[in-house]
């Protein structure tokens, strides 16, 4: 009887359902990723991670500044002066001892107004310095009420578009 109980407990432990990866839903949306910015030291953003939606040029410029081109490098592509007239930016910032790189997999707008930004994030080797690594995605404002961030197949945050 004890042997049967141990087998039953073992079978139950292995039958726990595996959670499916979170996925972006809705229609594909055109987007642009901007990698020519850094987070200002006085941005006011705190913590190891920040997820936000910035809808104005002033709000964006309080948080980010354009990085200068590296020696002999090409001029970085920046947001247009009127970018916030019809667009907003969905932003992820990871802070810590390593640089984080991002790869956007999908940006989709669902019928309920949820805009999904699905991406992969990978941290490099840790060092002694502290880094702030932003992902800045420019997206049309029309129809977007909130942004759901899906990182490495897992929903990590949802923010309102104001």
In a domain, 138, yes or no: yes
Residue 4 domain flag: no
In a domain, 121, yes or no: yes
pLDDT in tens, 84-143: 999 999 999 999 999 999 999 999 999 999 999 999 999 999 999 999 999 999 999 999
Domain region containing 136? 21-160
Please indicate, yes or no, if residue 156 is contained in any of the structural domains.
yes
pTM, full prediction? 0.85
- Determine the Cα–Cα distance for residues 112 and 17; give it in Å rounded to an integer: 28
Cα separation, 36 vs 112, in Å, equals 32
Is pLDDT above 80 for 3?
no
Q: Is 14 contained in some domain?
A: no
Q: Is 13 domain-assigned?
A: no
Taking every pair of Cα atoms in the chain, the longest distance, rounded to a whole number of angstroms, is 77
């Amino acid at each position: 009887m004890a042997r049967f109980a141990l087998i039953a407990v073992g079978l139950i432990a292995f039958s726990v359902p595996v959670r499916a990866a979170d996925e972006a839903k809705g229609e594909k949306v055109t987007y642009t990723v901007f990698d020519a910015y850094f987070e200002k030291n006085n941005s006011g953003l705190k913590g190891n991670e920040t997820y936000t939606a910035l809808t104005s040029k002033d709000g964006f410029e309080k948080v980010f500044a354009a990085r200068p081109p590296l020696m002999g490098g090409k001029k970085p592509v920046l947001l247009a002066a009127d970018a916030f007239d019809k667009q907003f930016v969905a932003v992820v910032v990871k802070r810590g001892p390593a640089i984080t790189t991002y790869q956007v997999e999908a940006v989709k707008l669902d019928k309920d107004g949820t805009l999904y930004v699905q991406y992969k994030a990978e941290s490099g080797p840790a060092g002694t310095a502290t880094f702030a690594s932003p992902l800045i995605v420019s997206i049309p404002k029309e129809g977007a009420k909130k942004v759901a961030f899906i990182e490495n197949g897992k929903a990590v945050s949802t923010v309102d578009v104001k």
